[in-house]
Structure formats: C-alpha cells, structure tokens
Amino acid sequence: MKFSANLGFLWSELSLPKAIVAAKAAGFDAVECHWPYDTPPNEVADALAETGLSMLGLNTRRGDVNGGENGLAALPGREADARAAIDEALTYAVAIKAENVHVMAGFASGSVAHNTFLANLRYACAQAANHNITILIEPLNHYDAPGYFLTTTTQAKTIIDAVDATNLRLMFDCYHVQLMEGDLTYRLHDLRPLIGHIQIASVPDRGAPDHGEINYAHVFAEIVKTGWGAPIGAEYKPNGPTDETLGWFSRARM
C-alpha cells in the first residue's frame, strides 16, 4: 500500500520544505498539508522536486481563526471571502502541482447554508477544472468541530449529487467517519465511486493508526478490495517525535 504524510500533523515542528524531506526519508510515497500559505510556494515546489514526492492536497483558509471560524464556504453572506479563499488555494495548488483542494465548509446550519455551500462548490469546481484539480469536501465529527456544517458521508453524498461536477469528491477520513457513523468498511465500499482521498488515524485519540477502536489491518485489506491504489493520508497526531510513531507504517508496507 502507498501512504501520504499529512504535514499538518507529522513533523509539524519543521518548516514545510524540511518536513517534505523528512517524509521522503521515512519512506512515504506522497505528502499533503493543511494551510501552507505562510511558506512561499516556490520553496515547497523545490522540496517536492528534490524528493520526487507529490503534494496530494491542501485546505482553503479557515477564515478568522481567532474569531472561531473553521471554513467559509457554507457561511451565508461570506461568499466573497469564501471565493477569495478558493482562488488563493487553487493558485497555490497550481504553483506546487497539488492534485486536490479541500474546501472547508465552516460553522453553519440550515437550508440557506446548504445552498450557500452548493453555490461556492460549483464556483470552486468550475475554477479547479481549468487546472485539472479535484475539489474535496470532508465531513468532520461533532466532538472536535461542534457546529461544523458537514458532518456525515450521507450529507456529503447529497451535496456531491446536487453539485453534479465531475471534479467534486469525498474526503473519506476514517477517524471522522468512525466517530460519526461507524460501519467503515461498508461505507468505503458503498461510497467508493465518490471518494477522492482516504485518511487514517486511531479512534478516539487521533493518534497513530495502531491502536484504539479501528482494526486498520482489516480496513487496509478492504481498501485494497475496492481497487484503491492512491496513497492513503496519515493524518494523525503523534504522541512524540514523528519518527518514533511509524511502527504501523513499517508493518503496513511489508
């Protein structure tokens, strides 16, 4: 199996270019990140070229983080800000040849928020299509992100069907899905046609995927059965130096 290091959590003490080098040294097949905007894109592109790794994806900005925002795309009245964040993310993604952009919905609820999200996603997909980039949406659990607009894969499927764009896909994060819905392997198989990226972490502590509620040896076998061949994103919070938490990685690649 192939794996991608999520550098929002792994080697987070390093600069993004140095974290890319560390991921290569550890044996990862690709990398992904959260919000790379403080790092000039040419520095990221140089590190990717040096290591031969690809950047699978990045997130749109969350908005006013100090004010409690966690995404903008489902917020009525913030359409201009949401689309500016989409444009910024796509520009950065093009500069580093990233394959996906995760458009963050934010804290909202109700039908107006739903329609706002749809409109902003249609905009994002239209702009992304010009660069062969896929737009991702990700349900987040209501323990870590109470009040987040998008919380389940069922809701995500409804949104993807409504937007009806070939480059809108589901980010299937096993950690969030297990906390909100369970039935991981059934959902992986049922939703496979909509999935654009898969991420992993233990439940409930979001640590390395080698303990807790989820038997990842079984999950990995089921992912293989679906025909999935792209790198799986290791988006977990290390409980120490990242290199000391990679025992699961060595076993999974055997």
Residues designated catalytic: 138, 235
Core vs surface per residue 198-222: b (16+ CB within 10 A) or e: bbbbbbeebbbbbebebebeebbee
Kindly list the distances between the CA atom of residue 174 and the CA atoms of 11, 123, 195, in Å, as whole numbers in the listed order: 21, 28, 12
Alpha-carbon span 89 to 159, nearest angstrom:
21
| DSSP 8-state assignment for residue 192 | G
DSSP E strand boundaries for the chain:
3-6, 30-32, 57-59, 100-102, 134-137, 168-173, 195-200, 232-234
